[in-house]
Amino acid sequence: MKRLIVALALVASLGMAGHALAMDKKINIFNGAQYDIYTLYLSPTNANDWEENLLKQETLPNGDKVDVEVSRTEKAEAWDVKVTNKAGETMTWIGVPLNKAGQITLLPDGKYEAR
């Protein structure tokens, strides 16, 4: 009986540890693209589709920042970032290391800085 209780306690603690590891990671995205951003999409580099617009009803002005959450359960090492400006033009940054950085600065011409 003691072994059963110990085994159940161990399984329960492992389940909670797994849940803690699955929490989201907060990333700070700084807009250095030299234009206001009206939509912001993230997607693992190997994915075929974009996730939902992370800005919702907001606009990310040039020189401003926004915090977004990235799922830690996603195993992607590199992410793509796509934004649109007021005219509806898109810019994409490929292979951004969101899993290793706490802040990403989006720069013109598809360049970025990761810290």
Residue 47: name the closest of 114, 103, 113, 94 by CA.
94
pLDDT at 2 over 90: no
Bridging pattern class, strands 79-84 and 39-44: antiparallel
For the stretch 76-112, pLDDT in tens is 889 999 999 999 999 999 999 988 889 999 999 999 9
- Whole-number pLDDT of residue 42: 93
For the stretch 49-74, pLDDT in tens is 999 999 987 899 999 999 998 876 67
Kindly state the average pLDDT of the residues 25-36. Answer: 95
Domain definitions of the chain by residue range: 25-114
What are the percentages of helix, strand and coil residues in the chain, rounded to 5? 20, 35, 45
pTM score: 0.76
CB 41 within 8 A of CB 82: yes
- In CATH terms, the fold of domain 25-114 is Immunoglobulin-like (2.60.40)
DSSP string, 13-42: HHHHHHHHHTSEEEEEEEE-SSS-BSEEEE
Residue tagged 């994409």 (tokens): 92
The secondary structure of residue 3, as a DSSP letter, is: H
